[in-house]
Amino acid sequence: MLNARNTRLIFVFLLVAVLFLHLENKTIISIYLLLFVAYFSILFYGSYFIQSDFFLRSLWKGSKERKAIAITFDDGPMAEFTPRLLDLLKSESVPAAFFLIGKNIEGNETLVKRMADEGHVIGNHSYSHTFWFSLNGSKTITEDLKKCDDEIFRVTGKKPKFFRPPYGVINPMVKNAIQNGNYACIGWSIRTYDTNAKSAEQLLQKALKNLSNGDIILFHDWGQFTIGILSDFIKEVRARGFEIVGVDELLKTKAYY
């Protein structure tokens, strides 16, 4: 399995081999460049594709043995969108997981309390969720995650175990923060890209394409067409014989400490 440790070992070996050949005048400088490009391309892939488990093992799919899926939402709570999502989920009797941005909680405590009361899983999605979040040092990221934990605990009395990294990016600094906080890192197997969807039909087809046992679906509270297609998505999922369960049940892992 390709991971950060194996990749380092392979490239150290290759670099030593190239250096030896260089001393023997059997290689050229461009090979060094090729090695570095290949190395950093792999690092980029490992950082930006959470399913690669490159730096850290993530939980991004449930068992293939059970015909069940889980629905998750990122970036809430949002006063404009989240209440409508909760209303729809309640009407369809569907549990979901909400990965919350800590700074969004103040002023939206009622929504967070409602999520907990209605049986939805609440996870940590960082406090700040800045564009450059993953480039901070491990200490700064650890403190940011704790700040989000504190906000969730203030409202619900529960400390979340589940963390989903902003943008799905995991690098050594984010990995260290996850381990420092003893979080379970939650990914996804279907990324709907609902915040960039061009139409409701396109989004619905993207969400349903290749749906299989154990899938974890990634939506966002604020996706332009998300609320509009959610009822049809739920109906089609059930028509195909799938259960919709909480992500904690799907992964057989406790969501809180």
User: Which residue in the block uniquely carries the two structure tokens 């730096």?
Assistant: 55
Check if 74 is active-site: yes
Show Cβ contacts of residue 90 under 8 Å, excluding neighbours closer than 6 positions: 118
Encoding tokens for residue 222? 């604020």
Check if 220 is active-site: yes
Answer for the pair 38, 63: CB distance below 8 angstroms, yes or no. no
Which of 129, 215, 220, 221 is labelled catalytic?
220
Answer for the pair 58, 205: CB distance below 8 angstroms, yes or no. no
Encoding tokens for residue 102? 């800590």
Answer for the pair 107, 81: CB distance below 8 angstroms, yes or no. no
Whole-angstrom distance, CA of residue 203 vs CA of residue 99: 20
Which of 74, 75, 144, 221 is labelled catalytic?
74
Active-site residue set: 74, 220
